[in-house]
């Protein structure tokens, strides 16, 4: 089955591309989630008209991501956790905790965009990467401190 991608789909293609997928994947996932259209003659003609709109939207998203990246460079979040005798945390700091701390400072980031190899389990200062767009990353300074 050939489909026209309306959005970028990781490991499949970019918006505006015509790709071949299995019928089940196209009909049960891509089309219902509004990620793609079936590639028939009518939809191909519509795509040709919408390519400029898609390019404009992608350019706007990229500019917004660059602005957020600059803002993230200025932001530092402090998260308090109970700490044991050897500096280890009781529990850990996850992407959800970082998301909530950023939201408290007025920066809305989806926790799935926060890249942590594994949860943070020690006190200290860490640089955490945030994927904002395809090839645009920001960095947030996360300070983990002990609390009583």
Query: What pLDDT, in 10s, does the model give residues 103-148?
Result: 998 888 988 999 998 888 888 899 999 998 888 899 999 999 888 6
Rounded CA-CA distance 10/18 in Å is 14
**Structural domains for the chain:** 2-65 (3.40.5.10), 69-146 (3.10.430.100)
Query: What pLDDT, in 10s, does the model give residues 10-62?
Result: 889 888 888 999 999 999 999 999 999 899 988 888 877 777 787 888 899 89
Query: What pLDDT, in 10s, does the model give residues 58-74?
Result: 899 899 999 988 988 88
In the chain, the DSSP E strands lie at 2-5, 18-20, 36-38, 76-81, 88-93, 114-115, 120-122, 124-133, 136-146
Rounded CA-CA distance 143/136 in Å is 23
């Amino acid at each position: 089955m050939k489909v026209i991608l309306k959005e970028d789909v990781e490991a499949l293609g970019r918006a505006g591309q015509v790709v071949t997928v299995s019928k089940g994947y196209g009909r049960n996932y891509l089309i219902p989630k509004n990620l793609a259209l079936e590639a028939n003659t009518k939809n191909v003609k519509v795509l040709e008209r919408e390519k400029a709109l898609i390019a404009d939207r992608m350019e706007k998203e990229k500019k917004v991501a660059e602005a957020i990246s600059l803002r993230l460079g200025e932001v530092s979040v402090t998260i308090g956790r109970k700490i044991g005798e050897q500096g280890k945390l009781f529990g850990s700091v996850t992407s959800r905790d970082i998301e909530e701390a950023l939201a408290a400072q007025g920066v809305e980031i989806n926790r799935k965009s926060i890249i942590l190899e594994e949860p943070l389990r020690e006190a200290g200062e860490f640089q955490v990467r945030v994927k904002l767009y395809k090839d645009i990353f920001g960095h947030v300074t996360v300070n983990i401190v002990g609390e009583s």
